[in-house]
């Protein structure tokens, strides 16, 4: 299976950056890797219409309900109209700053499934949860929204909160252990192995991407800060091929 590289611009970027990423990734690398760029919602139209943008279109969030009286929200139906293939849900920054709960994230999951957009469910533990060895329980709770569902293709991004934007990366053993735990949980819930891809996220960059991608259990990367640098992002995608 191709490695999956997803850029998460967070609340960054510009129309100019779209052009720069298009130029840096144009027509190359994609035989062996699948690349997705998750921009802020205002750029989705330009991304979908861009003449030379090779990565797929991704979004960073969607509403947990269908269209209706929810001022400021963006529905999965709207994302689908703009050609969005993947959408992040449950990113720790939204869990923390927007107080998103697992129940709300479960609603977003359902909306995405209803509109045939592949959910990228972000999960991860804090430093304290890792220190106190409660990370399994925390990840298990975050994954529980997948239970009792009709399985559809899903991407899980394992992003230890203490590794996000800090330059600190877990050891290969820690990544292996966390991804094995996630794979067991999700397949036990009835998801066929072919429906599940598990990414690592947290301070991934052009320097460490090849090493991270060489870990057998890592199906790809979710890249934040480094995805804002066109040549770094192109190099990460190249490393995945
Ligand atoms: C984690 C990651 C991308 P960064 O948030 O989602 O960001 O690569 O900047 O640590």
pLDDT tens per residue across span 153-206: 999 999 999 998 898 999 999 999 999 999 999 999 999 999 999 999 999 999
What six digits make up the tokens of 135?
A: 């990370």
Least confident range of 25-29, 83-87, 166-170 = 25-29
Q: Residue 30 pLDDT more than 80?
A: no
Per-domain residue ranges of the chain: 3-239
pLDDT band, very low/low/confident/very high, at 28 (cuts 50, 70, 90): low
Please say if 159 is a catalytic residue: yes
For residue 91, indicate whether it is catalytic.
yes
- Report d(CA 31, CA 2) in Å as an integer: 8
Catalytic residue among 20, 91, 93, 129: 91
> Which residues does 164 contact at the CB level (< 8 Å), separation at least 6?
92, 93, 124, 201, 202, 203, 224
> Is 3.40.50.720 the CATH classification of the domain at 3-239?
no
How far, in Å, from the CA of 122 to the mean position of ligand 1?
A: 11
Q: What is the ipTM of this complex?
A: 0.96
Q: What is the number of the ligand 1 atom nearest to the C-alpha of 163?
A: 10
Residues having CB within 6 Å of any atom of ligand 1? 8, 159, 164-165, 201-204, 222-225
**CA 156, CA 136: separation in Å to the nearest integer?**
15
Closest to 89 in 3D by CA, of 48, 56, 123, 114? 123
66 has pLDDT over 90: yes
């Amino acid at each position: 299976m191709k490695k999956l590289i997803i850029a998460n611009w967070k609340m960054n970027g510009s129309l100019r950056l779209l052009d720069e990423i298009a130029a840096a990734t144009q027509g190359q690398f994609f035989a062996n890797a699948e690349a997705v760029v998750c921009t802020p919602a205002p750029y989705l139209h330009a991304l979908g219409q861009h003449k030379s943008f090779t990565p797929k279109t991704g979004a960073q969030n969607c509403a947990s309900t269908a269209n209706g009286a929810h001022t400021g929200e963006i529905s999965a139906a709207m994302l689908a109209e703009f050609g969005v293939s993947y959408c992040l849900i449950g990113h720790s920054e939204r869990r923390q700053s927007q107080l998103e709960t697992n129940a709300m994230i479960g609603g977003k999951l359902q909306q995405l499934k209803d509109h045939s957009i592949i959910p990228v469910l972000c999960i991860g533990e804090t430093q304290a949860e890792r220190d106190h060895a409660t990370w399994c329980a925390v990840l298990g709770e975050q994954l529980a929204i997948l239970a009792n569902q009709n399985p559809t293709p899903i991407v899980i991004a394992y992003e230890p909160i203490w590794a996000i934007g800090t330059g600190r990366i877990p050891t290969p053993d820690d990544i292996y252990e966390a991804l094995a735990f996630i794979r067991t949980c999700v397949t036990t819930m009835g998801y066929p192995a072919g429906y599940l891809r598990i990414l690592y996220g947290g301070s991934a960059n052009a320097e460490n991407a090849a090493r991270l991608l060489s870990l057998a259990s890592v199906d790809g990367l979710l890249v934040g800060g480094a995805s804002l640098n066109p040549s770094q992002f192109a190099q990460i995608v190249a490393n995945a091929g």
